[in-house]
Amino acid sequence: MTYFNKTLASLQPSKSVTLMAKTKSLQKTDPDIINLTGGEPDFDTPKPICDEAARQLQAGYTHYTDGPGDPNLRRALARKLRDENHAPYAPENILITPGAKYAVYLAVHAVLNPGDEAMWLTPGWVSYPSIIQACGGVPVAVNLKWEEEYRISLEALESAVSEKTRLLIINFPNNPTGKVLSSEDRQALICFLQKHPRIILLSDEIYEKIIYPGYEAVSLASVPELFQRTIIVNGFSKSCAMTGWRLGYLACCPDIYNVIMKLFQHTISCTSGFLQKAAIVALDCRDEMEQMRLAYEKRRNLLYEGIRKIPSLHMLRPQGAFYAWIRFDTSMDSETLCNYLLDHAKIAGVPGSAYGEESCTCVRFSFAASEDLLRQMLKRLEALCPLP
């Protein structure tokens, strides 16, 4: 019999990645399918970034680089973190990683010992529980409620904590709900973390730049008492439409950083030099980022107004990110529901169960898609609803 690492062998495949691939392949024979599964901007990477990458490639930045990252990029990120996030990490404590996903993995691995518990908020990103498990930890969900608009309360956090808890992972603006931390949410988190000084906070801020009027993406690393024990994860995939470049980063205090670096050196060594040089340009592409944000905002409004008119559908108005988290009045579970939508309306979304919501009837649809496609989606839903 083949001998495997039991923990890794028991992991569930990523539902969103699997569904995205499956839907793309179905679209080859049926182009009428509207694929809203992917967490991927539908814009090209801004031209100045691509031009810079080509220039640096030609200039010969094709060798191993400074392990933790290009010094100029790390300095630029330190300025950005200080000025925009009020999180004054030194450039020496910023690490450039192949995507934010790998940054999450490094951070979780560096903090957890086998059997340690890590809390994550549901609904939440599909990969957190699997990454926790892959690192030998035990994921513990903090179940937030639709009826409370996913408000974070001290009681909910306390109900999930134990003496084994070492890590709390948060992600705002949130995938899949589009929610941003309110000041009450922040207060609950701060109060909780002050009560439990052994817990490290991992703050995944990858959707930080995609935020809608009236809301603010505030990093908890800006709270002086939490700064020392917060690990910020961010990247270029979503804000700059650079998913395929695989460029992310993390920032934290020196003692955690030194542990992370050991794993980084033995697994990745460094990320590509010419891509990192282009990432410096990406940080200055404010107009391009704003243009994309404005397009998402228009689509959000279109979808929200459209869904509200369809009886039996409910949608929370996204405050950030590019996902519509829609609840259907139906007796189907979210997985059956997604299959039904694909079979009967040729609309592909990701079931709520992928985000730790086992009993919900929610589906996540990405609105990183053209307005035209979103209008077609609305028409098809209108024709199909109410559902059995």
Site for ligand PLP, rule CB under 6 A: 39, 99-101, 125, 171, 175, 204, 206, 235, 237, 243, 248
Question: Closest distance between ligand PLP and the C-beta of residue 330, in Å?
Answer: 26
Instruction: Report the alpha-carbon distance of residue 122 to residue 76 in Å, rounded.
Output: 33
Choose between 328 and 355: whose C-beta lies nearer to ligand PLP.
355
Choose between 232 and 381: whose C-beta lies nearer to ligand PLP.
232
Residues 6+ apart with CB under 8 A from 41: 237, 238, 241, 243, 292, 322, 368
Instruction: Report the alpha-carbon distance of residue 330 to residue 363 in Å, rounded.
Output: 12
Choose between 128 and 378: whose C-beta lies nearer to ligand PLP.
128
By beta carbon distance, the residue nearest ligand PLP is 99
Question: Closest distance between ligand PLP and the C-beta of residue 100, in Å?
Answer: 3
Question: Closest distance between ligand PLP and the C-beta of residue 265, in Å?
Answer: 20
DSSP letters of 108-158? HHHH--TT-EEEEEES--THHHHHHHHTT-EEEEEE--GGGTT---HHHHH
Instruction: Report the alpha-carbon distance of residue 229 to residue 72 in Å, rounded.
Output: 25
Question: Closest distance between ligand PLP and the C-beta of residue 173, in Å?
Answer: 9
Choose between 237 and 306: whose C-beta lies nearer to ligand PLP.
237
Instruction: Report the alpha-carbon distance of residue 316 to residue 385 in Å, rounded.
Output: 18
Choose between 108 and 206: whose C-beta lies nearer to ligand PLP.
206
Please report, for residues 88, 152, 196, the alpha-carbon distance to residue 187 in angstroms, rounded to integers and kept in the order given: 21, 9, 14
For the chain, the maximum distance between any two Cα atoms, rounded to a whole number of angstroms, is 61
Choose between 169 and 313: whose C-beta lies nearer to ligand PLP.
169
Question: Closest distance between ligand PLP and the C-beta of residue 243, in Å?
Answer: 5
Instruction: Report the alpha-carbon distance of residue 78 to residue 322 in Å, rounded.
Output: 26
End-to-end CA distance of the chain: 46
Question: Closest distance between ligand PLP and the C-beta of residue 200, in Å?
Answer: 17
Sheet holding 138-143, edge to edge: 94-97, 248-251, 230-235, 200-204, 165-171, 117-122, 138-143
Question: Closest distance between ligand PLP and the C-beta of residue 345, in Å?
Answer: 25
Choose between 175 and 361: whose C-beta lies nearer to ligand PLP.
175
Question: Closest distance between ligand PLP and the C-beta of residue 39, in Å?
Answer: 4
Q: Are 34 and 366 in contact (CB under 8 A)?
A: no
Choose between 130 and 376: whose C-beta lies nearer to ligand PLP.
130
Other C-beta atoms within 10 Å of 35: how many?
21
